[in-house]
Amino acid sequence: MIRLFFLFFFLIFSCEASVQDFCVADFTAPEGPAGYSCKNPANVTVDDFVFSGLGKAGNTTNLIKAAVTPAFAAQFPGLNGLGISIARLDLAPGGVVPMHTHPGATELLVVVQGSIATAFISSANTVYLKTLKKGDIMVYPQGLLHFQINAGGIPAIAFVSFSSPNPGLQITDFAFFANNLPSILVEKTTFLDAAQVKKLKAVLGGTG
Ligand SMILES: *[C@@H]1O[C@H](CO)[C@@H](O)[C@H](O)[C@H]1NC(C)=O
Ligand SMILES: *[C@@H]1O[C@H](CO)[C@@H](O)[C@H](O)[C@H]1NC(C)=O
């Protein structure tokens, strides 16, 4: 009976000792496939769980007239290991986030200003297209191609949340035209002609 009693307390104690509420990123150690290693809880403060960088517009003076300001694990240490993250999207009039995927996360977008034309394309190549207005939310299933275009005459703002602290990003145009993949292979794999490939590589900074 006494032994059982001690066993009981030992089990409770060891369970409590194994609970870990969070794993705030320790940026002094390298990042592994499972994220950053954990900062010593004794050195964690409330500021690790607060990120103040999404209050101001990103710089949209660029080719796509768009800016994404991330609050991912690399910027927001408290997110590490919690399976979630957020970013701000600014789209100037005429702005576009070109066709892209997030290999590591499902995305939830909420429009807080302006209107945004957006679609994702399923594995069956079905297009799910909608023009969203302020207050509308759209979900993009993990890994599927999607885009956002400003559909109004004023700057559009959205917040996008991801089901991972590291959603990843691959922009299709950049994958084809912004690197040194030989033009002949780009032509063969896209069915574009040489002049079109040359033009897109010039715009996006590709070589080869
Ligand atoms: C906490 O931070 C202080 C100052 O940055 C450092 O000297 C100390 O080693 C840290 N303690 C732990 C337990 O990581
Ligand atoms: C925005 O980016 C452009 C192009 O890089 C740059 O010339 C401009 O100074 C930036 N504006 C601000 C406010 O940082």
Q: What is the pLDDT of residues 41-78, one digit of tens each?
A: 999 999 999 999 999 999 999 999 999 999 999 999 99
Q: Is residue 37 part of a domain?
A: no
pLDDT band of residue 105 (cuts 50, 70, 90) is: very high
Residue 16 in marked binding region? no
**Rounded Cα gap, residues 203 and 201, in angstroms:** 5
Residues 152 and 61 in one domain: yes
For residue 160, the domain's CATH number is 2.60.120.10
Closest CA to 28 of 20, 39, 19, 17: 39
pTM for this prediction: 0.85
Residue 38 falls within a domain, yes or no? no
Q: Same domain, yes or no, for 133 and 183?
A: no
Integer Cα distance of 119 and 125 in angstroms: 12
Is 39 inside any structural domain? no
Give distance in angstroms: CA of 45 to centre of ligand 1. 12
Same domain, residue pair 64 and 158: yes
pLDDT attached to residue 106: 98
175 pLDDT higher than 60? yes
Q: Does 50 share its domain with 131? A: yes
Claim to verify: residue 59 and residue 147 sit in the same structural domain? yes
Please tell me the distance between residue 43's alpha carbon and the centre of ligand 1 in angstroms.
6
Q: Quick one: residue 77, left, alpha or beta (phi over 0 = left, psi -120 to 50 = alpha)?
A: alpha
My answer on whether 101 and 127 are in the same domain is yes
Q: Which residue has the tokens 């400003």?
A: 150
User: Considering only CA atoms, which of 46, 41, 42 is closest in space to residue 22?
Assistant: 41
Q: What count of Cα atoms within 13 Å lies in the side-chain half-sphere of residue 74?
A: 9
Atom of ligand 1 nearest to the CA of 40: 14
What is the number of structural domains in the chain?
2
| Residue 85 domain flag | yes
78/162 same-domain check? yes
Judgement on whether residues 154 and 55 belong to the same structural domain of the protein: yes
Q: Determine the structural domain holding residue 83 and report its residue range.
A: 46-168
Give me the pLDDT at residue 3, please. Answer: 58
95 with 86: CB under 8 angstroms?
no
For residue 35, tell me if it sits in a domain.
Answer: no
* Pair 140, 161 in one domain: yes
Ligand 2: distance of its center to the CA of 136 in Å?
30
Residues 180 and 109 in one domain: no
Strand partners, 161: 86, 108
Residue 130, pLDDT score: 98
Q: Say if residue 31 carries a ligand binding annotation.
A: no
